[in-house]
Amino acid sequence: MVNLLITGGLGFLGQQAARRFLRRGAALWSPVDRCLKPLSQLTLFDAGGIPDDLPAEITQDERVQVKIGDITAEGVPAELVDEPDMAVLHLASMVSGDSELNPDRAWEVNVLAQRALLDALAASAPGARFLFTSSTATFGSLPPHAPPDYAAGDGTKQLPGNTYGFCKVVCELMVNDYARRGAVDGRGLRLPVVVVRPGAPPPLATARRHAAGALAGPIL
């Protein structure tokens, strides 16, 4: 059976992913046996505290364990992926507004922590599935005179306009290289908008503000 780690596991995406995996009795790719096997243990790792409203289907499932810590701390990534039969859903990230205010910390959280996690996974579970969330922020602003149906693709030049987007470009290239070498079976998913968890909003414009404005506006 396969252990699954979800970093940023107590945020909106992390909880939703966890519930889907638990409900479906999902089969995960085993890097040891190279076939699909049942989920054995689901670890939700997060930097924040455990929410009071964490769903019972998560808290009462014996397959789930919750760990709180700093993913940038030395040794933490290796502790999280210390089994040979592992898969990782890497959602932990410093959001755009905070990244602009503290680019050094953004580099540690968004880039160096991912590298440490990939190195640890390659050592303990070579060839393991590693899915991380990137962002359409890697493309920056729309090109001048872009048509209404403009869509960016893998061939679109990436020109990030902020620190968050820059970090995500680096992370995409990093996963590509680890996958090329066979260290992990890496994939990335570019999300257009991430609504961050409840709390004081960052002082800069972020996805939360854009989403709030869209939800408050007229529905066309």
The DSSP code sequence of the chain is: -EEEEEETTTSHHHHHHHHHHHHHT-EEEETTTTEEEEEEEEEEEESSPPPTT--HHHHT-TTEEEEE--TTSTTHHHHHT-SSSEEEEE-----HHHHHH-HHHHIIIIIIHHHHHHHHHHHHSTTEEEEEEEEGGGG-SPPTT--TT----TTSPP--SSHHHHHHHHHHHHHHHHHHTTSEEEEEEEES---PPSSSPPSS--HHHHHHHHHHS---
Query: Which residue in 101, 91, 93 sits closest to 205, CA to CA?
Result: 101
Query: Which residue in 60, 67, 61, 66 sits closest to 25, CA to CA?
Result: 61
- Is 164 a catalytic site residue? yes
Which is the catalytic residue, given 21, 45, 164, 178?
164
Residue with tokens 């054995």: 40
Beta bridge partners of 72: none
* Cα 146 from Cα 176, distance rounded (Å): 29
- Kindly list the catalytic residues: 164
